[in-house]
Structure 1
Amino acid sequence: MSGRPVVSPLVIAEIVSAAPARLRRKLDKQPQIANEWDWNSTTDGWQISTGNETVALEGQVEITDHVRCSCLLSPRCFHVLAVLSVLDIDDAPVDEPTPESSQSHDEETQPEQMEIADAQRDAANQLWKAAASVLAVGLRAAGTLLQAELLRAVHECRCQGLHRLAAAGMRVMQDIRLLRNLDAAFSTDAAHSDLTELLRCGWRIIHSDGTADSEWIGTARRKYEPIANQRLTGLFTEPILTRSGFAGVLTYLMAEDGSLGTISNVRAGTESRIFDAWQTGAEFGQLSTSHEQLNRATVLVQKATRSKDGRLGGGKDCRAVVVDGSGWDTPKVAERWAVPIHEQIERCFQHESHPETHRPAGWDFVFARGVILGGNGEELLFQPSSAAVPLWLTIAQDQSPLMYRTNIVLLSRCQNLPVRCVVRVDLAKPGTASILAISSDPLAEESDCQLKLPEEFRRTVSLGIEELKRGHLTSATRTPTLRNHSFQMETRPDGLEALRRCLRGLLLGGRHAIPTGRLPELTRNVRRLEIQKQPMAASLLGTLARSATASQTDFEGIRFPNDPSPLAETYLAASCYEMSARRHFEQDGWRQLDTQ
């Protein structure tokens, strides 16, 4: 959908609410039909030919007057509904500020506690009820009318300054679209996390005592704070390729205080744009160097800015110049490889508990020194020097234009290769991380297999975008060395599969995912949790089942209660418990890395 306009959530909500019910039901059966129509770009916007009628869009669809159809029912017609349903929704992305706006450093910083106005509480309650209604029927059955209610509530939250809540609502909306369109990008775990975030944030605001922590409110735009004159050392560049149609590169640099910053070049486009961005000049402090050079360079900057999540910005007064440096051998950078891995993992878990916008750049990175024992063509078995057991290093993104797989296959043919590497840990999978960048280890003992890189590499390789050659290795076998190796970390099961299945079932199928015929099975699962000495999990599972199946009978038959809020509250409590317990067991699994 690259190039098509975006549509305001309020426009969709208004047109869907005004459309006849029969048209909404027709769209629910054919949500993607507009993609089959003929789309043509014009000087004034877009024209979509449906065969018999024509829909016209005037630029970005911000008001209902920006969309019209040639049929008599416009804009309350099926053609308009279908076209709007396939447009990307304007989610007010948090972009980097312009050079002029980034100079507003004297604005007041957001206080830690903020007052909650009655209008904000009402907006949060409106979005809570919309989310509860979606949960009651499940994401699969959340039709256009429920989607419109959700979008109207998101718009109201955005107008009232509840930015974190509005962003969570938009993610839930995107999850609904992905699932109903059978898009491969849909993730049940991600959708569960998004809905839990929405309910949790909404509950905090609704039940606040008049004030709330600023992190629950969020910000409309990413805030940039001035930083002192800095010496930044390039670490590596990561290719970015998303299913939503964005591509480019992201370069990580380390400051003298050990914090990480990022400079990006990510725009709408296909995979071919990655290599264009890699060779394009970095947009920072009037630099005239490419990301290909920046990721190995040392940069001196003045009057720059940085956001909480590490994005580096600069206005018209920012100055940056590239100087000679030592790369990964710079003392401050080299210190990161001296920190034991288990300490770095603990720090990752601490950062994970914070909102995404408050996590520093590279919060899930681990700097590891050790030996590649071999590989199976898909993964590398890596023995860190500061850990008792090895790690499996996996492919970060397995997409054809990227070089991760090619490099992993070559490294799989190496035995006892000493390296330094930067990996991104998968906290949900103890013992597993994806490898991002690699370098030879100057402190390692002599080995038959060594990494010998050309001078232009400066001893480091960004594995997603640069290709290792056979000539860069002093020794390698013809085939992967560990084809039949099955080492895995021992992880204790948390015993919460029954609760987890119930939560995922409700998420996708709503109340009907727990039919009365399954109640005996749920009762057995509750009893099993009690025997396992998990009384809280047992209580939550029982309450969740009762809330989902609660019904009332009258002359019209058996019906579910009109207010789904009790179900949403129970779902939220069970989700928070499940996430907390899972994190505890995951953290316990990662502690096996600690040397005895």
Structure 2
Amino acid sequence: MSGLPPVTAPALAETLDALPGRLRKKVDDAVTRAAAWTVSTADGQVSVTVDEGTTVTLVLTGGVVRTGSDARCSCLLAPNCLHRVAVLALAPVHDGVDDDPAHAAPADPVDPAPSPVDAGSAAVVGEAERAGAAEPDGDVRAVLTTRQRDAADGLWRAGAAVLAAGTSGSGLVLRTALLRAVHEGRANGLHRASAAGTRVAAGLQALRESQPQFRLAELTDDLRELLTVSHRLRAGNLPAEQSADLLGVARRGYDPQAGLRLYGLCTVPVVAESGYAGTATYVVDRDGRLWTVTDVAPGGADRAARSGDTAVALGEAGLSHRELTRAGMIVSGGTASASGRLGAGKSVRAVRATGAAWTEPPLRALWEQPLDQQVGRAFAALAEPVADRLAGSDLVFLSVRLGGAATGDAVLAETAEGAAVLLTVADDHPELAYRDNMRVLGAGAGLELLVVGRPDPARRATVEALSIGVAPGTGDGLRLPAAWSGHADLGYDRLHRSQLLSGRQGPAVAGRPPATGDPALQLLRRHLERVVSGGRAVHALADDQERRLRRARLDLGAHLLAELASAARSRPRDPFGRLTGDDAETFTRAWVAAAVYERAATQALIEASWLS
């Protein structure tokens, strides 16, 4: 069913609460049937035709269904009927934030991925203990209100219920309970945990609708984020220095900026799982700081492929994004968020200026930073929430020599420091040029290039290549059009094999693709994802394979996995053998501890692989 307006979480919860118990058991089947109902719009109302004698009418306020009474059904059982619930359950959930589009923070130009962490073994132990049982240390305590702690506890309990049931058992009732907790959390300023809860609810809905963008790994990471943050918040004795990070903010403010002299660096397509797409252009000021200019709106990969040629929404410079990446701009009266996203207010004035080559200041300094410092900065940025990352802080700037095609569309390369890396496709949508360009570069063994890329936090020494340029002093092994100003944005510019001049490349790199990760940690990860998929009951019957982790010298991981298995199997019973009340507290804490350990250990291993 398409064409439905957004619905607030309280409206959906209100209609579900009104259902009698006997109808709640049938709600998921009703939602499945509702997908075939016809939607029409007239006079500011949306009508859904159930059958010849039954119609659900949605009354909109500001384009949103805000209360349960705004959904009206003509059947005899109304208002306590399945029709209202089924229609509202299929509608998109309104996030409760009405942003000014001129200053709203755009979607971050990264595909949400598992959040890595820069940690050694001591930090791994500390994080696992804090997530599983221990309270945070510190003399200064931030004062959270009782309502905030209650809201955090509600988010924890809603997430625990989803974890215990698994995706296979999380129907509309559990998803609505989670959305209700998200609404309460957002109303009380728990923005980071609420955002994670929203992503979990969206993941459950995507799985139910068999949407191709559903990823179990992403749902696992979102659930870990929800439970970890809400657990820390509900304790109530949060250290003051950690409160701002864990509470989050609803919206990033845009502050005035002094005159900016900007130089284009590269342009990348943006295709977010949330249904938004567009483009993001990275620019650099005289001091070497990176900023972003974005054009992101509802759409898919086709919009991202087209938006590179749209005009940059800064003043009246008349530059498209693909032109700005090879030119410059002088901006006055500008605004920007603390993370470096440039705003497009009415006061902004901008004129076109000359750009700079990658081999000229101030861009050249990006490639002069030592690799170990770049990797440390990028992985530290990837450990932060997406909205908190400074523009470009998760990028690395590499000088590499290509070693030829590896598996799939990846290309083996060697950095100037002698480290073996794998260049991979940043986005495999066929509308974008990434895949075709990587296949061309796979035939350029020995070619020396400058690369702008983003480390893959889940694979050893792997970088998603975003843009390439010819390395200085290497001749013309790669011949680029003069209009490209010495670099190609791999998401937009299409390379051709004729641009590789045979016999002009340097010696090829000998080697093989780096391993994707540690097998023992991947085994632990599969156990965690199995819990998210099948729930507590499935894991209770599984072999925890603790011995394999101990043989790999992951003793803490083996201990946490054993604790998780024990908690899954431990179910309190009364003298007659019947299950008694169990809030799944121990089981959920055990899963969170194992999940935090797995993330920290994996990211420590991945980061170390860059520096070997």
Task: Settle same-fold status: TM greater than 0.5.
Answer: yes
Corresponding residue for residue 204 of structure 2: 176
1:217 and 2:247 are equivalent in the alignment: yes
Unaligned runs of 5+ in 2: 107-139
Residue identity opposite 2:95 in structure 1:
D
Do the aligned partners of residues 224 and 494 (structure 1) sit closer, same or farther apart at CA in structure 2, a change above 3 Å counting?
Answer: farther
Corresponding residue for residue 285 of structure 1: 315
What are the residue-to-residue correspondences of 1:267-282 with 2, within 5 Å?
267-282=297-312
Do the aligned partners of residues 387 and 289 (structure 1) sit closer, same or farther apart at CA in structure 2, a change above 3 Å counting?
Answer: same
Corresponding residue for residue 528 of structure 2: 503
Q: 1:91 aligns with which of 95, 98, 109?
A: 95
What are the residue-to-residue correspondences of 1:187-336 with 2, within 5 Å?
187-209=215-237, 211=240, 213-336=243-366
What are the residue-to-residue correspondences of 1:2-151 with 2, within 5 Å?
4-29=4-29, 31-52=31-52, 53-59=54-60, 60-92=64-96, 98=102, 115-151=143-179
CA contact (8 A) 2:305 2:431 kept: no
Residue identity opposite 2:167 in structure 1:
L
The whole-number CA distance in structure 2 between the counterparts of 1:93 and 1:327 is 41
Task: Report the alpha carbon displacement of residue 395 of structure 1 after superposing the two structures with TM.
Answer: 1.6
1:337 and 2:364 are equivalent in the alignment: no
Residue identity opposite 1:194 in structure 2:
D
Task: Report the alpha carbon displacement of residue 465 of structure 1 after superposing the two structures with TM.
Answer: 1.4
CA contact (8 A) 1:100 1:316 kept: no
CA contact (8 A) 1:223 1:307 kept: yes
Task: Report the alpha carbon displacement of residue 380 of structure 1 after superposing the two structures with TM.
Answer: 4.7
Give the secondary-structure state (helix, strand or coil) at the position aligned to 1:374.
strand
The whole-number CA distance in structure 1 between the counterparts of 2:32 and 2:267 is 37
Task: Report the alpha carbon displacement of residue 391 of structure 1 after superposing the two structures with TM.
Answer: 2.1
Do the aligned partners of residues 499 and 272 (structure 1) sit closer, same or farther apart at CA in structure 2, a change above 3 Å counting?
Answer: closer
Task: Report the alpha carbon displacement of residue 12 of structure 1 after superposing the two structures with TM.
Answer: 0.9
Corresponding residue for residue 486 of structure 2: 459
CA contact (8 A) 2:459 2:517 kept: no
Give the secondary-structure state (helix, strand or coil) at the position aligned to 1:331.
coil
The whole-number CA distance in structure 2 between the counterparts of 1:153 and 1:413 is 53
1:512 and 2:552 are equivalent in the alignment: no
The whole-number CA distance in structure 2 between the counterparts of 1:531 and 1:275 is 48
Task: Report the alpha carbon displacement of residue 123 of structure 1 after superposing the two structures with TM.
Answer: 0.9
CA contact (8 A) 2:406 2:412 kept: no
Corresponding residue for residue 425 of structure 1: 455
Deviations 1:228-253 (A, max 9, x none): 32211111111123454322211111
The whole-number CA distance in structure 2 between the counterparts of 1:208 and 1:577 is 23
Q: 2:495 aligns with which of 455, 459, 468?
A: 468
Do the aligned partners of residues 126 and 397 (structure 1) sit closer, same or farther apart at CA in structure 2, a change above 3 Å counting?
Answer: same
Residue identity opposite 1:57 in structure 2:
L
The whole-number CA distance in structure 1 between the counterparts of 2:503 and 2:271 is 31
Q: 2:385 aligns with which of 355, 380, 387?
A: 355
Task: Report the alpha carbon displacement of residue 532 of structure 1 after superposing the two structures with TM.
Answer: 4.9
The whole-number CA distance in structure 2 between the counterparts of 1:473 and 1:305 is 42
Task: Report the alpha carbon displacement of residue 57 of structure 1 after superposing the two structures with TM.
Answer: 1.9
Aligned residues, how many? 570
Residue identity opposite 1:192 in structure 2:
T
Residue identity opposite 1:124 in structure 2:
A
Deviations 1:172-194 (A, max 9, x none): 11121122333222212211111
RMSD over equivalenced CA pairs, Å: 2.9
The whole-number CA distance in structure 2 between the counterparts of 1:221 and 1:495 is 40
Return the TM-score normalized by structure 2: 0.86
CA contact (8 A) 2:259 2:333 kept: yes
Do the aligned partners of residues 81 and 223 (structure 1) sit closer, same or farther apart at CA in structure 2, a change above 3 Å counting?
Answer: same
Residue identity opposite 1:231 in structure 2:
R
Task: Report the alpha carbon displacement of residue 319 of structure 1 after superposing the two structures with TM.
Answer: 1.8
Deviations 1:184-232 (A, max 9, x none): 2221221111111111111111113265521111111122233332211
CA contact (8 A) 2:163 2:531 kept: yes
Do the aligned partners of residues 300 and 32 (structure 1) sit closer, same or farther apart at CA in structure 2, a change above 3 Å counting?
Answer: farther
Do the aligned partners of residues 428 and 497 (structure 1) sit closer, same or farther apart at CA in structure 2, a change above 3 Å counting?
Answer: closer
The whole-number CA distance in structure 2 between the counterparts of 1:357 and 1:136 is 29
Task: Report the alpha carbon displacement of residue 284 of structure 1 after superposing the two structures with TM.
Answer: 1.9
Do the aligned partners of residues 301 and 115 (structure 1) sit closer, same or farther apart at CA in structure 2, a change above 3 Å counting?
Answer: farther
CA contact (8 A) 1:375 1:412 kept: yes
Do the aligned partners of residues 68 and 377 (structure 1) sit closer, same or farther apart at CA in structure 2, a change above 3 Å counting?
Answer: same
Return the TM-score normalized by structure 1: 0.88
The whole-number CA distance in structure 2 between the counterparts of 1:44 and 1:567 is 48
CA contact (8 A) 2:458 2:516 kept: no
Deviations 1:449-478 (A, max 9, x none): 62222222222221111222345333399x
Do the aligned partners of residues 66 and 443 (structure 1) sit closer, same or farther apart at CA in structure 2, a change above 3 Å counting?
Answer: farther
Deviations 1:485-529 (A, max 9, x none): 98122577363455433322221222211235x4xx43xx33454
Q: Moved runs in structure 1, 4+ residues, more than 6 A? A: none
Task: Report the alpha carbon displacement of residue 114 of structure 1 after superposing the two structures with TM.
Answer: 5.4
Question: More displaced, 240-249 or 189-198?
Answer: 240-249
Give the secondary-structure state (helix, strand or coil) at the position aligned to 2:366.
helix
1:412 and 2:442 are equivalent in the alignment: yes
Do the aligned partners of residues 348 and 264 (structure 1) sit closer, same or farther apart at CA in structure 2, a change above 3 Å counting?
Answer: same
Q: 1:487 aligns with which of 488, 512, 533?
A: 512
The whole-number CA distance in structure 1 between the counterparts of 2:8 and 2:170 is 19
Give the secondary-structure state (helix, strand or coil) at the position aligned to 2:380.
helix
Do the aligned partners of residues 563 and 380 (structure 1) sit closer, same or farther apart at CA in structure 2, a change above 3 Å counting?
Answer: closer
Deviations 1:366-415 (A, max 9, x none): 11123223225843535344232432212221122111122222222323
Residue identity opposite 2:388 in structure 1:
H
The whole-number CA distance in structure 1 between the counterparts of 2:551 and 2:302 is 56
Identity of aligned residues (%): 34
